[in-house]
Structure 1
Amino acid sequence: MPYLTMTSRRTRWSRGWAAVLLAGALTLGGAAWQPVDAAPAAATGNGRPVSPPAPKPEPIKVTELPLPPVTPSTGEGACTPALNPHRTGCIGRSVDLQSGDFLPDGRHVTATVDFAGAPAAPDPASVYTGRQLIIVKTDGTTFPGGDAWKCVTCGVPDGNAVGRSEAMDYPQTFDDGRRLLAGTNIIDCGPHRLTSQACTPERTHIYPIRWNVTPDGSGPGGSIRELRLHPDNVHLGFNVATVTNGKFNQYGYLARLKFNPAPETGTPRAPRYDLVKVTRLFDPADTQPVSVDPRHPDRLRINPEAITVGELRGFSGSGREVTYVGYPGESSNIDVFAADLKTGKVRRLTAHPEYVDPVDISPDDRWTAVMDTRGTDRQMFLAGMRGIPPVTDLITTSATSSTRNNGQRRFFQPYLIDRYGDRGSYQGQRINAAGDGSPGSVNDPEWNGRADPKWSPDGTSIVYWQALTVPPACGGHNPLPCRPSTAPGGRTARMMIARLTSRTPLRPKPVAPISDTVPWGTPYVPGSPTPARPYPPQGTYTLKGKKSGSAKVTITENAGRTIISTVAVSYTNYSDDGARILNGTEKVGVQNPTPTLNKVDWYSDLVQTGRDGRVHGTKKSSPDGFHLTIDVLTNFFQATGTLTTTLDGRAYTQPANDT
């Protein structure tokens, strides 16, 4: 049950992330899209939960932020004084950008870039090479040297960076303005703010972060990824990829950062940050999303309140909640959730049937910024029919989430959603909707959003970044044409800032340190084995609809009885809401030739009717079934047969292979 997604920079991991939609609160054109009221309660009226009305569209102004000049060649010395008279470096067309957090003043943002074309040493400009962290001005001003950006890590002496990792992904800021988190490093300028002239390379230190995984504290520590700084600036969330029972899996963790100036165990034996008081955000004894009813061993039960942290994505602005990609609330629908770190109360942040995972919650916890494929119809063939219970998802989530991408082609665009989530016809507001869709415009569909959008401390701006679709995700046999870049120097990545111009700035409030203890988590013991996620054992069960009918569910395990291999479901007048009635069958089998490769055999013949008896939706595979092969690390869609969802006469079909 590996409900997870894998993210990428270059070839390490791959994540998913283009139609031009109307500005404002979106609707998807008529009755084809089936809304669902899955938002949490905002108030109580007559004893019943009530969600507030959807917010009205607000004015948003999107502009591009400056980056270093582009060199047409990455060869040594190609970044000439003519390209950059300030001798402060160039980037290539393939800049490998990743935007990050705002600094506490709200006038600077962090970004990771690849410098290229630097001259050879001992030229002072030789330090502007390779993967580095920069700070970019957002207010149109420049640093004293005349650039709108400053490189923070360029030229840091080797002695100030013992044990650092090369990865500099997901740059995030500490509230003191003196430190940054990037990859598994913390960049520290001592008493000086990172933006000041006093913060020089000689005064900057890069400290590695180490997670101890051995009982005696020896060795280099465990491999961690997708780090997220908690708003208290004391704790850190991270993810750990693993293989359990031959299948790729992942868990989220929470830990306290502790500076260790003189380590006596483990490597590196240099000043570093150790992760202590580590908690795995998972309890194998806790209720799972799909389980056997202990009072009725022949029945299954679904618990939408189960905490299912597949991939940790961050924290709420107040720090009270952890955000994550969780087990689907509806079949094949991958959403983001938030769970209270104390109480375990779960909120479903999104409910649209398209795919989402990059997410950031505003400082006041009232708004969510996401990167989502909604509006592209990319996932509708799988998830468009609403209200199907998430039963086949016991084995399909790795495969269904992987269909969101075409290799490095993302289908994400940025959206703004209020705290109460998708409900009725409200599906959020597209942040970059105001444009004509022409090449290079803010809503050019070939500029695809990437992770992660980030809020400014005062809640009035959101920074995000995009990448242009390039071969082989366009051109050649791919029917999507390749558009030339209109960005400066022809670069294929850009950093954008969205200003919410009608908002009153918030007054940032410091977040008090949270407890090291997460009551619903499991304290991590170094050297302990990684648990497998529990699942209902092999057998035939009944799943009762909340309003009517039932489903017969047959679960078959593999020969070793270590994982589920097949789930078959037969619905008879099944309904959880009383408005949609489901009949028909669905059977899915999954094999994993390697831990990351999914071979899926999918047979579907579902019919959904309304209370009036009219058919509103079908989900059908071709007579020989739908057969998908996809790897969670590469996301190249390869299928034979078809799987089609039709809603009120509109058919949603699968992507073509390699598109």
Structure 2
Amino acid sequence: MRLQTALLGSIAWAQAIVHGNPTLSHRNDIVPPQPEPITITELPLPPVAPNTKPGSCTHNTGCLDRTSSQQSGNFLPDGNHVVISANFTGAPASPNPASIYTGIQLILVKTDNTTFPNGDPWKCVTCGVPKNNRVGSTELLSYPQAFNDGKRVLVEANIVSCGDELLTSEECTPEKVHIYPIRWDNKADGSGPGGTIRELRIHPDNLHIGFNSFGILNGKIDEYGYFSRLRFNPSPKSGTPRVPRYELVNVTVLFNKDTSLPFTVNGSDLIFKPDTITVGEFRGFTGSGKEVTYVGSPVESCNIDLFAADLKTGKVRRLTSHPEYTDPIDVSPDDKWQVILDTRETGRQMFLAGLRGIPPVTDMASVTVTASTRNNGARRFFEPWLLDHDGDRGTYFGQKINAGGDESPGSINDPNWNAGADPRWSPDGTRIVYFQNLVQEPACGGRNPLPCPKSTEQGGRTSRVMLAHLTSREPIKQQHVEPVSDEVPWGTPYTPGDEMPKRTYPGAGNYTLKGKNSGSASVSIIYGTSNLSIMTVGATYHDFSDDGLSFISGSEKVKSTPLSVTLNRVDWFSDIVSTGEQKGTKKTGPGGFHLEIDAMTNIFNANGTLTTTIDGEVFKQPANGT
């Protein structure tokens, strides 16, 4: 384990510019925590293979591919091991014993500077698993999560199990390991391979799982979150694969049909309710398992944030409010802290979302596009941030975990190393593990104006796993989480064969949205002629204010045209002025701002300009391809 640096992290940047917004239960009177000391170390990984040719790796327990991402997950319940999805290459051909170290595998890595009996600080759990023990399984690519029995790990849509043996024990040999597929029944007769599931997260009771699934609605990609019980079926009688498998049963869509969007209509009045449950993408659970976390509909225009909703009552908390983009999150076991990955401090989203207090009316047309600008392909711009239970408020926007470095090549805050989902807390709440990837082509180099950096890691590795030690904290006592109910009272029960639920939007027409404190906005909604989705939203603001401190005037209009299921084009015209506590503008150039971006690839390609200025600070859009 390599010590990189010790630091006292900074409270979030640009507080004079990024004004807080109290919308949705933000308690500005709660005193924020003081920054605390954090030490960053790097976890050991198998060596990098010289190349991908068979036999190029000479290490007895395998080598990793230089350019592949090694995705860390959570800790085993002992707190001394982290589960990681790793890509092995260069293994010799069979019958050499080392031939098993090939492809994407699940490994355990020591966090306490000790080694396994073979002398390595890592152990490959799935290398050499017999074919009959992994029938029907899929690639062990991402989001590895250990169960609290220390014997099983969820990886992608599979569960790796060592039966009665602990994964760390010498008795856990490849012959005892099974890789079981996870199946979601989506047809009334139980036939077929089941529904496509992604972004699975284990509930702390270890009996339930949340997941996401894509669908197509009105010609556009849409996504819903789900909650379900996990059940092992040793001999299924229907559906494929017809092998021992885990099944998702008693499924609930995390969707409330009565309040599917934060906007409702009363005559000619448009009413905004920010505490509406709007699960766009399910992200996990709080440490106690009482709440579900998710990316929800914006509370402020173009501002993509995280929320939590109580599984029983449906009460909503807004966890983040910084105008940058946040997505991955993990809540500490005692629910008192959260670690997020966010683009804050990079300025990536400020040209869109920097001006606070604009209601999210044009987002009805633009939200998919604005959410897609956070990345440049595989370059994510994410950094890890520490927030307390109450999240962003006032001028408190958390503590950057890897602050304090000099941003030199390979340093803990080298801007060319970006964090990947998901960061994870240790069981005792004193450490956080996360992984980083070094930017590579085409996100740099070639036709991209950004030069590609050289890796300072062993063998030129472009992925690494980091461990943040919160050195002033006392370990918390691990709590047993009682099983929760299968029922989510505010959700929609799912029966195999059900169609995807439909979100309800205001109809076409002209409306008035009143500010909670003063002023109003005149809103126009126009639907497309060839599809049933909203195409154009325009708004004119008349000293609109929710907080009574800043006032929005001017106009904005956004037209969204789907070019394919995932590719969208927006034509944007903005001339907004903010006065009062926040002085700023959000303006497009003379010909407007025109952006095409694919929600799956996130490559920025725009014509024209959209610029936000706040208290004299200018935020411009990224250059195309960066």
TM-score interval, normalised by the smaller of the two chains: over 0.9
Residue 281 of structure 2 is aligned to residue 311 of structure 1: yes
Which residue does the alignment assign to 2:448? 478
Choose from 53, 65, 70 the match for 2:43: 65
Choose from 411, 427, 430 the match for 1:457: 427
Residue 18 of structure 2 is aligned to residue 33 of structure 1: yes
SS, match of residue 415 in structure 1 = strand
Which residue does the alignment assign to 1:444? 414
> Using the alignment, how far apart are the partners of 2:115 and 2:607 within structure 1?
55
SS, match of residue 381 in structure 1 = helix
Residue 626 of structure 2 is aligned to residue 656 of structure 1: no
Which residue does the alignment assign to 1:160? 133
SS, match of residue 213 in structure 1 = coil
Please report how far the alpha carbon of residue 39 of structure 1 lies from its aligned counterpart in structure 2 after TM superposition. 7.2
Please report how far the alpha carbon of residue 29 of structure 1 lies from its aligned counterpart in structure 2 after TM superposition. 3.7
Residue 608 of structure 2 is aligned to residue 623 of structure 1: no
AA in 1 matched with 2:69: D
Residue 339 of structure 2 is aligned to residue 369 of structure 1: yes
Q: Deviations over 1:205-249 (max 9, x none)?
A: 111111001111111111101111111000000000011110010
> Using the alignment, how far apart are the partners of 2:248 and 2:135 within structure 1?
18
Conserved in 2, the CA contact under 8 Å of 1:39 and 1:422? no
Which residue does the alignment assign to 1:227? 200
Residue 230 of structure 2 is aligned to residue 257 of structure 1: yes
> Using the alignment, how far apart are the partners of 2:80 and 2:303 within structure 1?
37
Conserved in 1, the CA contact under 8 Å of 2:137 and 2:180? yes
Choose from 297, 306, 330 the match for 2:300: 330
Conserved in 2, the CA contact under 8 Å of 1:132 and 1:151? yes
Residue 489 of structure 2 is aligned to residue 511 of structure 1: no
Residue 101 of structure 2 is aligned to residue 131 of structure 1: no
Conserved in 2, the CA contact under 8 Å of 1:168 and 1:185? no
> Using the alignment, how far apart are the partners of 1:150 and 1:342 within structure 2?
40
SS, match of residue 60 in structure 1 = strand
Which residue does the alignment assign to 2:34? 56
SS, match of residue 641 in structure 1 = strand
Please report how far the alpha carbon of residue 284 of structure 1 lies from its aligned counterpart in structure 2 after TM superposition. 2.1
Q: Deviations over 1:581-602 (max 9, x none)?
A: 1110000000001010010000
1:205-244 residue pairs with structure 2 within 5 A? 205-244=178-217
- TM-score w.r.t. length of structure 2: 0.97
> Using the alignment, how far apart are the partners of 1:198 and 1:237 within structure 2?
31
Conserved in 1, the CA contact under 8 Å of 2:330 and 2:424? yes
Which residue does the alignment assign to 2:514? 544
SS, match of residue 365 in structure 1 = coil
Choose from 537, 541, 544 the match for 1:574: 544
Which residue does the alignment assign to 2:4? none
Conserved in 2, the CA contact under 8 Å of 1:339 and 1:347? yes
Which residue does the alignment assign to 1:94? 67
AA in 2 matched with 1:619: K
Residue 173 of structure 2 is aligned to residue 200 of structure 1: yes
Which residue does the alignment assign to 1:5? none
> Using the alignment, how far apart are the partners of 2:116 and 2:10 within structure 1?
39
1:318-467 residue pairs with structure 2 within 5 A? 318-467=288-437
AA in 2 matched with 1:423: R
Residue 156 of structure 2 is aligned to residue 189 of structure 1: no
Q: Deviations over 1:297-347 (max 9, x none)?
A: 111111111111111111000000111110011000001111100000111
> Using the alignment, how far apart are the partners of 2:350 and 2:71 within structure 1?
29
Residue 599 of structure 2 is aligned to residue 632 of structure 1: yes
Conserved in 1, the CA contact under 8 Å of 2:322 and 2:397? yes
> Using the alignment, how far apart are the partners of 2:243 and 2:14 within structure 1?
59
Q: Deviations over 1:396-453 (max 9, x none)?
A: 1110011011111121110001111111221100001122211111111111111000
Conserved in 1, the CA contact under 8 Å of 2:357 and 2:550? yes
Conserved in 1, the CA contact under 8 Å of 2:205 and 2:482? yes
Question: Which deviates more from structure 2 when the two are superposed, residues 263-272 or residues 100-109?
Answer: 263-272
> Using the alignment, how far apart are the partners of 1:349 and 1:433 within structure 2?
22
**Number of paired residues?**
620
Unaligned runs of 5+ in 2: 1-6
Residue 520 of structure 2 is aligned to residue 583 of structure 1: no
SS, match of residue 421 in structure 2 = coil
SS, match of residue 310 in structure 1 = strand
Please report how far the alpha carbon of residue 255 of structure 1 lies from its aligned counterpart in structure 2 after TM superposition. 0.5
Conserved in 2, the CA contact under 8 Å of 1:25 and 1:56? no
AA in 2 matched with 1:77: G
Which residue does the alignment assign to 1:3? none
1:410 to 1:224, Cα distance in 2 relative to 1, 3 A:
same
SS, match of residue 538 in structure 2 = strand
Please report how far the alpha carbon of residue 560 of structure 1 lies from its aligned counterpart in structure 2 after TM superposition. 4.6
Question: Which deviates more from structure 2 when the two are superposed, residues 321-330 or residues 525-534?
Answer: 525-534
Unaligned runs of 5+ in 1: 1-21, 42-48
Question: Which deviates more from structure 2 when the two are superposed, residues 280-289 or residues 65-74?
Answer: 280-289
> Using the alignment, how far apart are the partners of 1:255 and 1:449 within structure 2?
29
Q: Deviations over 1:49-91 (max 9, x none)?
A: 66421100000000100000111201111112xxx1xx11101
Q: Deviations over 1:325-375 (max 9, x none)?
A: 100110000011111000001111111000010100000101110110000
Which residue does the alignment assign to 2:3? none
Conserved in 2, the CA contact under 8 Å of 1:168 and 1:184? no
> Using the alignment, how far apart are the partners of 1:542 and 1:561 within structure 2?
25
- TM-score w.r.t. length of structure 1: 0.92
> Using the alignment, how far apart are the partners of 2:538 and 2:354 within structure 1?
20
> Using the alignment, how far apart are the partners of 1:503 and 1:133 within structure 2?
30
> Using the alignment, how far apart are the partners of 1:168 and 1:160 within structure 2?
18
Please report how far the alpha carbon of residue 573 of structure 1 lies from its aligned counterpart in structure 2 after TM superposition. 1.2
Residue 593 of structure 2 is aligned to residue 647 of structure 1: no
Conserved in 2, the CA contact under 8 Å of 1:23 and 1:430? no
AA in 2 matched with 1:94: T
AA in 1 matched with 2:184: W
> Using the alignment, how far apart are the partners of 1:556 and 1:497 within structure 2?
50
Which residue does the alignment assign to 1:523? 493
AA in 2 matched with 1:75: K
Q: Percent identity?
A: 60
Please report how far the alpha carbon of residue 26 of structure 1 lies from its aligned counterpart in structure 2 after TM superposition. 2.4
Which residue does the alignment assign to 1:468? 438
Please report how far the alpha carbon of residue 96 of structure 1 lies from its aligned counterpart in structure 2 after TM superposition. 2.2
SS, match of residue 622 in structure 1 = strand
Choose from 284, 300, 304 the match for 2:270: 300
Choose from 248, 254, 266 the match for 1:275: 248
> Using the alignment, how far apart are the partners of 1:483 and 1:240 within structure 2?
36
> Using the alignment, how far apart are the partners of 2:497 and 2:288 within structure 1?
33
Residue 2 of structure 2 is aligned to residue 24 of structure 1: no
1:552 to 1:362, Cα distance in 2 relative to 1, 3 A:
same
Question: Which deviates more from structure 2 when the two are superposed, residues 557-566 or residues 571-580?
Answer: 557-566
Please report how far the alpha carbon of residue 38 of structure 1 lies from its aligned counterpart in structure 2 after TM superposition. 4.6
Please report how far the alpha carbon of residue 475 of structure 1 lies from its aligned counterpart in structure 2 after TM superposition. 2.8
> Using the alignment, how far apart are the partners of 1:181 and 1:153 within structure 2?
13
Conserved in 1, the CA contact under 8 Å of 2:568 and 2:598? yes
Conserved in 2, the CA contact under 8 Å of 1:39 and 1:421? no
Question: Which deviates more from structure 2 when the two are superposed, residues 405-414 or residues 469-478?
Answer: 469-478
Q: Deviations over 1:498-522 (max 9, x none)?
A: 0000001011111111100001100
Please report how far the alpha carbon of residue 94 of structure 1 lies from its aligned counterpart in structure 2 after TM superposition. 1.1
> Using the alignment, how far apart are the partners of 2:448 and 2:177 within structure 1?
47
SS, match of residue 254 in structure 1 = strand
